[in-house]
Structure 1
Amino acid sequence: MKIGIVGLGPRGLSIFERLCANIKEGKNYVKENDYDIYIFDPYPPGGAVWRKNQSKHLLMNTVASQITLYTDESIDCAGPIVKGPSLYEWANSLKQNEYYNGLPRHIQEEIKKMNPNSYPTRAFYGYYMEAAYNNLITDLPSNINVFLHRDEVINIIKVNNELFLETEDSKNNTAVDKAVLTLGHTDHNLNQQGLDIQKFSNDHNLLYYKPANPADINLSDIKPNDTVLIRGLGLNFFDYMALFTIGRDGKFEEKDNKELIYIPSGYEPKMVAGSRRGVPHHSRGENQKGASERHDPIFLTEDMIQILKSKDEVHFGRDLWPLIVNEVESTYYSTYIRNKLGDEIANNFLNDYKQTINNKEDTLLKYRINKKDFLNWDKISHPHSFNKFYSTDEYHQWLDIYLKSDVEESQLGNKAGPLKAALDVLRDIRNEVRLIVDHGGIVASSYENELRKWYTPLNAYLSIGPPVRRIEEMRALIKCGLLTILGPNATFRTNLESGLFEGYSPLVKDSLIKSNILIESRLPEVSITLTSSKLINNLLKKAMATEYKINSKNSTFNTGGLAVSKPPNRLISSDGKPHDNIFIFGVPTEGVHWVTFAGVRPGVNSVTLMESDSISREILFGRIEESVEIHETIITREKAKV
């Protein structure tokens, strides 16, 4: 059997591992067959996002102990459990290893300093994945042959039931029986707003940087003391912040009071950033959950999920959001009480809270929680309360107090700190939310307006933020004058009269700043109508793929993602029929699946690992009679290594 894997990021590598594991432990007819596995990616193992040669200043936003590629006993899969080290365990093992001596000095330093709760560099994750790939190659059974192509697949030609993978650089197509597409984020064309901005930029000789991974952007045209407008205060903003400061030889130093100050190198531009909320994503609470501890739902339980799935119509705001609120609030208040009154009273509170959920205020007052300490969702969502500020300095004074409070809350931890423990629940219950909303589980209008436009960005803002160190750095940069935050409802526009970009906040007086540089600090949206992926566009043109649409009684929503079946994740063609030999999972299916960018965490029954095992077993065991003659060329283990 010949199998193609398109993409060698975390999902592609997981597919490869699951294929190897299932072949090794498979039924006799699997063990006796030979398998040629063709892997395609222009980049080494890890793919573009996690490549080893990117800036050492770009961090992951997950701690080292909570990153893995391997299965464990928590994974609900039919395939064999093959354990392997987490990223932290692997790093720790290298300290007495010859491999360590051959690593770049900055990677060696990272390993020396790494602890279970460190935030690794993205480049180091690339080293981890490369090592995992090489270990798989070393341990290949004799009936698996691997062909690694550093090339991009741009088309799939289907003849009868055979697939021919066409690549960018090769004149010869590769024939396979089955293919798995694990594409990750793809490049995109600009939407109409972006095209208008790009035209304005070209007409006036400005610099406009479209949505992209900051690691992929050449920032050399931005000179010292240039004023740079940055739209967005999410994770990409912190990447640009790092690249423009410590990436240009500046450094942060700790004062006696433990706060940071920034020592400029003189090569930095002046950054002016803003967003609708006017504040950055909440920083992550210091990890107190080890590698795999997570919140055990008490409202969004398996029974409740089944009740919701049995309904004719499910609306996110009406049916699911109240359960999420209860999960978050019960954690917040029980942690608050535990800190003040101990475990026994906190447990009593949880029991009472569950019983009196429709009259929760009385329960809170019964346990002597003052109204001023109630969890205020409006204040969390919009901490400035839409107040007006008379100057940027006044806003910065308010913002510094807010950011300092965020740092202090994070330092309390994601179990002991009431706020960060509560917000971490949002991260912990993503699987439960997926079980309800995936594959059109909620009505179309609710998915579009309540989930996609409202909750998904709120969830990111509250629970998918940067390490707390980044917030401390942000405070230092504001104080030294290299970073200006515009304020709430930040607006960015073009000005024909001046021929420049402008940024301002309508809630901050005299906040208007002009610049010849504008950066969109976000990743491109998932959209098959805007993607510049040649592979996806060719599949669409030939009707081999189609957009996933949620059709409800009174509404329809075009999700922008590719249509795919339930596991084993078959790609669906325009006639609604799933391919029996093309599989896809990951980012391009956003809309069928929710929050597809999440990584693999040990001990929590990772959705990614379940899906990759399901796909791999379908490839191997689905229709054995369709196996074709074995390719005679064998690649040696050493040649397949990178």
Structure 2
Amino acid sequence: MTTLQKGSRVARHPHRIAIVGSGPRGMGVLERIAARVAGAAPGEYEIFLVDAVQVGCGRVWRTDQPDWFLMNTVCGEVTMFSGPPDDGPARPGAGPSLAQWWESVDPSCPGPDGYAPRALHGRYMNFTLETVEAALPPGTVHRVVAVAEDLEPVGEGYLLHLSDGRRLPVDRVVLTTGHPTPTLTGLQRELAEFAADRPNLRYIRGDSAADMPLDAIPRDAVVGILGIGLSFYDIMFALTVGRGGKFIENMDGGISYEPSGEEPLMVAGSRSGTPLPARGRNQKAATFSFRPKLFTPPTIRAHAQDGPLDFTRDVLPWLIAEIHLTYFSAILCRSGTGREEAFTADVVASAATGAPDVTAIAARHGLEAPEDAPDLWRLSRPFTGLTFSGPAEFERTLIEAMRLDLEHAERGNVDDPLKTSLDVLRDTRWVIRELVDFGGLNPGSHRTDFLADFAPRSSFLAAGPPRIRVRYALALIESGLLRVVGPDSRFAGDPATGRFVLSSPVVADSEVAADVVIDARIPDPHVRRDPSPLTRNLLRRGIWTEFVNGAGEDAFHTGGVRVTHSPFHPVTSEGRPETGIHVLGLPTEHTRWFTLVGSGRPGPWNEFIRDADAIAARVLSPAEGESR
């Protein structure tokens, strides 16, 4: 292994780097390493790209999954290269976006506003890997298909234990291990145990839909689906189009479903009682960058008390003000009266003394019905306070709400005031991360106000699927193959009948017996519930520890791996950074927030590329005194 002296590599080569996990995070680090070492001599570096499923794209993006599993970001906003293409060949630091690459390999590419299949994004990631390999001396990058099971500190480096028996000596390690399958707890465990004793039942735990045993579900089964988010749409397609059914566009522009006869009955439920709202028709350039006028870290900290923030008191009012400002500005812009600049200036001036009451200012500027400003709580739980006489009444109400949402989405994420204002939730995630990461909130607010309440509501309103998917869900509801049980859905096992039972407390006679329950929610990462051998061994060795926000009785055990700020070294059980290792992405969720970001974006570097570059710089040139 390379010897380190005074922060520099000396005589002995090669310098060996292992990247464990080759999903987007791992590939992002590899691309930046390759960009930084362009022109390196043969044998100067060796990079081992380790993945248990498919090197170059990982499990979630593997290329052999069906094309009905789609991304939920338009392809023009996705790139794995840290710079745009130029007059030269594609290479690290200068390569095509997903849309540009897709157009080059497929004449039927729908353009930059289309949604790519996840398998196609996997092919694009493989293209990125091939581009990296071509740019570096032969033998620099090694593809390793194996499970990383242990990481043993040895001298100034590490010994990576692989499932095929190999022991790989390396100098630096980057851990980007992606989505875990944590040990089941709570309701999930109860449902799994209920099914385990009854051979006629099946419980399918939350995971990527491409890895669920959906083909084993009988055609005559009643399938309960827990969660109506993005994974729900994947499951919906697998159980319909995946079984030979077809969605047909009618002469009037509507959509109907032509069944194959192999579909089971799907009954879905969630807290909201409705599928995710649709993404607005994209009207923004891929390089669009939203610049908040109110919701900025300096503004919030200037008006907050010293110490950790309280999300509800210190952060949320400013976010709501930014959303309302965007909403009313869009209305004024559409009016063509030229009043939006004066309105914005009035709002910004009012922010000098605290988060402004934007609706009151809107009323002063002559806007009608300012009380209709977006209410995140009402929008994310649209049926709160309502009761329904039965499933038929609830279904009529649900269909009406879904159609109204589609009308907003069709107008677009610029022209429709509601959809453009909700885009603020996506466009200001970086602000929230800067405020809440690494214990920026007090423990109680972090656990309750932010993670338990705001985060799921924000995800519901900001992460929506393409409009066509919502139209397909409507067609299935109208065909009778999909039913939504109602708000605050309950899932339980019924010992008397030996079946699962789904119901909603606000929909009379809503009980439905089911043979299968599928958890359509992405598992919440938790380092102490991750059964993988690598995680267990890293904890045993004290290399990984759990991030705990606060101390004493109020301490919040987050479940995230404790890491330093960039470049994200794990903090050991001795309280020191393990500077030869970097941890990025989902293992650190709850230490950091929203770590599942899956790509860079064309234009100025976003956090995805900045994080990758910071790690690339450190694994290549460790700072003086940082080697163990």
Deviation, 1:32, is 9.0
Q: Distance in 2 between matches of 1:469 and 1:605?
A: 30
Q: Distance in 2 between matches of 1:627 and 1:172?
A: 25
Amino acid at match of 1:15: V
Deviation, 1:554, is 7.0
**Greater mean deviation of Cα atoms: 119-128 or 11-20:** 11-20
Deviation, 1:21, is 1.3
Cα contact 2:359–2:371 (8 A) shared by 1: no
Match of 2:120 in 1: 124
Quickly say closer, same or farther: Cα 1:359–1:203, change in 2 above 3 A.
closer
Secondary structure in 2 matching 1:208: strand
Q: Distance in 2 between matches of 1:443 and 1:625?
A: 33
Secondary structure in 2 matching 1:220: helix
Partner of residue 198 from structure 1, selected from 192, 213, 225: 192
Quickly say closer, same or farther: Cα 1:555–1:604, change in 2 above 3 A.
farther
Cα contact 2:295–2:322 (8 A) shared by 1: yes
Cα contact 2:413–2:423 (8 A) shared by 1: yes
Deviation, 1:576, is 1.3
Deviation, 1:351, is 1.4
Q: Distance in 1 between matches of 2:357 and 2:572?
A: 50
Match of 1:609 in 2: 609
Amino acid at match of 2:61: W
Match of 1:176 in 2: 170
Q: Distance in 2 between matches of 1:291 and 1:123?
A: 21
Cα contact 2:75–2:113 (8 A) shared by 1: yes
Quickly say closer, same or farther: Cα 1:494–1:627, change in 2 above 3 A.
closer
Cα contact 1:386–1:488 (8 A) shared by 2: no
Partner of residue 135 from structure 2, selected from 139, 146, 154: 139
Match of 2:6 in 1: none
Amino acid at match of 1:459: S
Quickly say closer, same or farther: Cα 1:256–1:10, change in 2 above 3 A.
same
TM-score by length of 1: 0.90
Q: Distance in 1 between matches of 2:344 and 2:462?
A: 23
Cα contact 1:177–1:627 (8 A) shared by 2: no
Cα contact 1:305–1:435 (8 A) shared by 2: no
Q: Distance in 2 between matches of 1:125 and 1:240?
A: 19
Report Cα offsets for 1:191-241 as digits up to 9, x if no partner. 143333222112122111111111101212212231101111111111111
Q: Identity percentage over the alignment?
A: 32
Match of 1:84 in 2: 95
Cα contact 2:279–2:467 (8 A) shared by 1: yes
Quickly say closer, same or farther: Cα 1:340–1:479, change in 2 above 3 A.
same
Match of 1:98 in 2: none
Match of 2:437 in 1: 438
**Greater mean deviation of Cα atoms: 230-239 or 544-553:** 544-553
Amino acid at match of 1:12: G
Match of 2:24 in 1: 10
Match of 1:34 in 2: 44
Cα contact 1:493–1:502 (8 A) shared by 2: yes
Report Cα offsets for 1:364-399 as digits up to 9, x if no partner. 222232246333344312212321111111111111
Cα contact 1:288–1:415 (8 A) shared by 2: yes
Quickly say closer, same or farther: Cα 1:567–1:612, change in 2 above 3 A.
same
Quickly say closer, same or farther: Cα 1:385–1:191, change in 2 above 3 A.
closer
Report Cα offsets for 1:556-583 as digits up to 9, x if no partner. 1111011111111111111211112111
Deviation, 1:112, is 0.9
Report Cα offsets for 1:527-547 as digits up to 9, x if no partner. 112112210111001212110
Match of 1:283 in 2: 278
Quickly say closer, same or farther: Cα 1:515–1:302, change in 2 above 3 A.
closer
Amino acid at match of 2:331: Y
Cα contact 1:305–1:432 (8 A) shared by 2: no
Match of 2:12 in 1: none
Cα contact 1:443–1:552 (8 A) shared by 2: no
Quickly say closer, same or farther: Cα 1:113–1:22, change in 2 above 3 A.
closer
Report Cα offsets for 1:465-515 as digits up to 9, x if no partner. 111111101111000100000111111111111111000111111110001
Q: How does 1:240-639 map to 2 (within 5 A)?
A: 240-301=235-296, 303-304=298-299, 307=302, 311-342=306-337, 344-356=338-350, 358-366=356-364, 367-371=366-370, 373-551=372-550, 555-599=554-598, 600-623=600-623
Deviation, 1:162, is 2.0
Deviation, 1:187, is 2.0
Secondary structure in 1 matching 2:537: helix
Partner of residue 93 from structure 1, selected from 104, 114, 121: 104
Q: Distance in 1 between matches of 2:186 and 2:424?
A: 37
Q: Distance in 2 between matches of 1:548 and 1:183?
A: 18
Deviation, 1:183, is 0.6
Amino acid at match of 2:266: M
Quickly say closer, same or farther: Cα 1:442–1:246, change in 2 above 3 A.
same
Match of 1:49 in 2: 60
Amino acid at match of 1:534: P
Q: Distance in 1 between matches of 2:473 and 2:228?
A: 11
Q: Determine whether 1:207 maps to 2:210.
A: no
Match of 2:11 in 1: none
Q: Distance in 2 between matches of 1:608 and 1:377?
A: 27
Kindly tell me the number of residue pairs found equivalent between the two proteins: 600
Gaps of 5+ in 2: 1-14, 85-90
Deviation, 1:305, is 5.3
Deviation, 1:301, is 2.7
Quickly say closer, same or farther: Cα 1:145–1:338, change in 2 above 3 A.
same
Gaps of 5+ in 1: 74-79, 95-107, 629-642
Secondary structure in 1 matching 2:326: helix
Secondary structure in 2 matching 1:156: strand
Amino acid at match of 1:319: D
Q: Distance in 1 between matches of 2:576 and 2:507?
A: 54
Q: Determine whether 1:151 maps to 2:161.
A: no
Q: Determine whether 1:62 maps to 2:67.
A: no
Amino acid at match of 1:577: R
Q: Distance in 2 between matches of 1:136 and 1:12?
A: 13
Secondary structure in 2 matching 1:154: strand
Cα contact 2:41–2:137 (8 A) shared by 1: no
Amino acid at match of 1:146: V
Taking only aligned residues, the RMSD between alpha carbons, in angstroms, comes to: 2.1
Q: Distance in 2 between matches of 1:13 and 1:504?
A: 43
**Greater mean deviation of Cα atoms: 367-376 or 571-580:** 367-376
Q: Distance in 2 between matches of 1:20 and 1:412?
A: 42
Secondary structure in 2 matching 1:163: strand
Cα contact 1:407–1:468 (8 A) shared by 2: yes
Quickly say closer, same or farther: Cα 1:625–1:219, change in 2 above 3 A.
same
Deviation, 1:356, is 3.8
Cα contact 1:24–1:31 (8 A) shared by 2: no
Amino acid at match of 2:121: Y
Cα contact 2:300–2:315 (8 A) shared by 1: no
Match of 2:7 in 1: none
Match of 1:186 in 2: 180
Match of 2:108 in 1: 112
Amino acid at match of 1:420: K
Secondary structure in 2 matching 1:529: helix
Match of 1:71 in 2: 82
Deviation, 1:129, is 0.4
TM-score by length of 2: 0.92
Q: Distance in 1 between matches of 2:554 and 2:569?
A: 26
Report Cα offsets for 1:140-183 as digits up to 9, x if no partner. 146x72221111111001122220000111x2300001111011
Amino acid at match of 2:131: N
